[in-house]
Amino acid sequence: MSPLEHVKFSFAIAGVSRALTHQLVRHRLASYSQQSQRYVKEKDFDYIVPPTIERNPAAKAEFEKLMETIQKSYTKLLTIMGQDNVSGEMANQDARFALPQAAETKIVVTMNCRELLHFFQHRCCSRAQWEIRQLADKMLDICRQALPVVFSTGGAKCAALGYCPEGEKFCCGRYPLKP
């Protein structure tokens, strides 16, 4: 596998939540550059709505109310700190403690092909959280188009193994359990 370490892909990722990037950066054999919440003031921050909340009108209304409240408090905090002579950068870096995990962010990630195959094994699996799984599926599509020889059997562990190693409780049924 070591020759695969010489080939790298960089992805510019936008429209994802801080909840996603928190999971992404757990993958250590990669390089990252993320939009700063210290230097970029989150005036009218965008946020990601999870599908289970999006499709339930009552849950969506509650979620949007919460985001609006956070936005108002964040902006008020900046004003209060400004009146207290806290500099802009310092105020941003402290006010961001109030921002939610749903806040939209941007990140650039560079991974070599070996790490990408490892990343896909974990994050294309149905056990992975929905947002990072959607991202991993998109990244895999791009990799497959660019380097089919390397990525044709890439994906969740089961894709290469031909069976599911996750056990009965977690198996999604796409592949049979290990015999």
Decide: is 127 part of the binding site for ligand FAD (CB under 6 A).
yes
Applying CB under 6 A, which part among 6-14, 42-50, 89-97, 119-127 lies near ligand FAD? 119-127
Would you say 92 or 121 has its CB closer to ligand FAD?
121
129 close to 16: Cβ distance less than 8 angstroms: no
Contacts of 166 (CB under 8 A, 6+ apart): 125, 127, 157, 158
Is 18 annotated in the active site?
Answer: no
Residue numbers 12-51 binding ligand FAD by CB under 6 A: 26-29
In Å, how far are 32, 136, 158, 166 from 161, measured between CA atoms? Answer: 30, 19, 5, 12
Q: Residue 11 pairs with which residues in a beta bridge?
A: 109
Annotated catalytic residue within 38, 123, 133, 144: 123
Q: Residue 164 pairs with which residues in a beta bridge?
A: 177
Question: DSSP secondary-structure letter at 140?
Answer: H
**Site size toward ligand FAD, by CB under 6 A:** 10
Binding track, positions 136-175, relative to ligand FAD; x by CB under 6 A: ----------------------------------------
**Positions in the binding site for ligand FAD (CB under 6 A):** 26-29, 115, 118, 122-123, 127-128
